[in-house]
Amino acid sequence: MKIKKSDVISLDKFIYLSLYNKKFGYYMKKNPFGKQGDFITAPNVSRLFSEMIAIWIISFWKNLGSPKKFNLIELGGGNGEMMKILIESFQNFPSFQKSCNLIIHEKSPTLIRIQKKKLSKSKIIWISKINKLKKNPSIFVANEFFDAMPIKQFQKYKNIWYEKFVKFENFTKASFVEKKTDIKKIEKKLNFKISQNQDFIEYSESGLDYLKNISNFIKKNTGGLLLVDYGDLDKKMKNTLQAVSNHKFANILDNIGEVDITHNINFELFKKFTHEQGGLDNYLDTQKNFLIKMGIKQRAELISKDKNFSKKADIFYRLNRLIDEKQMGTLFKVMFVKNKKNKFNLGF
């Protein structure tokens, strides 16, 4: 996409351009993870996180009747760390390992290269579109995947809805503008009354598309989606758009392609939307509660038993980052979408 002087594009198109443009998009050209990057995700904080996810996956697979062929799909593989620990954990369960098609859904060529290097000894399939999946029972795992989707924003003034756009003076100078919009047309396209009881709307079109497609896949082939992300449970939507660079907040309109643009998931919207797909149920809890119910504290005790003081302290420092309420514990939520008839609720 070429930007000309005085171009005006919708907010989601601007975010897509900033993050996923093939030449200069943030995710397309750099590794944003870790101390040298702009943020750290849970799998990079502690391997305990991925171990708990592995236990959950194996338990759910058994609940599904231990299918001989099934798909495990990680949505957005990051730097490959979670998949690496999952595979190490699966080695203790040979019948599970034999049945499992390991799949990573990733758009970024840079991240695919990093993932392939880290996971070179494992048999993994990389896919760019989830509609290419084999029609087997499937478990989708998404850790900090949906927050990286481009979003639209709308504001209501005196019963009239306006959509947020970005206006370019030139490629380095941009500002926000608003345009009047017909919210009914948007709701018709979504097949969902998103404006009900709202004065402000924030949602990702591509995020809801993923939810819809995954929901349909789960309904037809059985399985579920385990979604871990930061967000809130508010019924009223609010502006959560933010940019991060070098572990600090940054200006969204500055340094296009150099900053991560993100938003908080509105889990109330996700719950309503998946419910409206029909035939599905969902559970929702904080990351703290989910990990504690999965036995993360006991696992930390076990692996720290024979360690020296500094290694033991490091294990519990990292555990604390995952479950402490002032850190990731309550800001991050865990959502599980499944078929209504399935009563599996481990961790919830």
What is the residue-wise DSSP string for 24-50? T-HHHH---BSTTSSB--HHHH-HHHH
What total of structural domains would you count in the chain?
A: 1
What is the reported pLDDT for 77? 92
Using pLDDT thresholds of 50, 70 and 90, give the confidence band for residue 5: low
Using pLDDT thresholds of 50, 70 and 90, give the confidence band for residue 174: confident
Residue 78 is classified by DSSP as T
Residue 191 lies inside a defined structural domain of this protein: no
Residue 192 lies inside a defined structural domain of this protein: no
Q: Which range marks the domain in which residue 33 is found?
A: 8-150+204-339
Residue 187 lies inside a defined structural domain of this protein: no
Q: In what order do the strands lie in the sheet with 242-245?
A: 248-250, 242-245, 260-262
Residue 106, domain CATH: 3.40.50.12710
Q: pTM above the 0.95 mark?
A: no
Backbone angles phi and psi of 345, in degrees to 5: -145, 25
Residue 143 lies inside a defined structural domain of this protein: yes
What is the reported pLDDT for 13? 92
What is the reported pLDDT for 253? 86
Phi-psi region of 157 (alpha: psi -120 to 50; beta: other; left: phi over 0): beta
CA dihedral (119, 122, 124, 126) in degrees, to 10, reads: 20
Looking at per-residue pLDDT, the higher value among 35 and 293 belongs to 293
What is the reported pLDDT for 1? 46
What b/e sequence results for 237-259 when a residue is b if at least 16 CB atoms lie within 10 Å of its CB, and e otherwise?
beebebbbbeeeebebbeebbeb
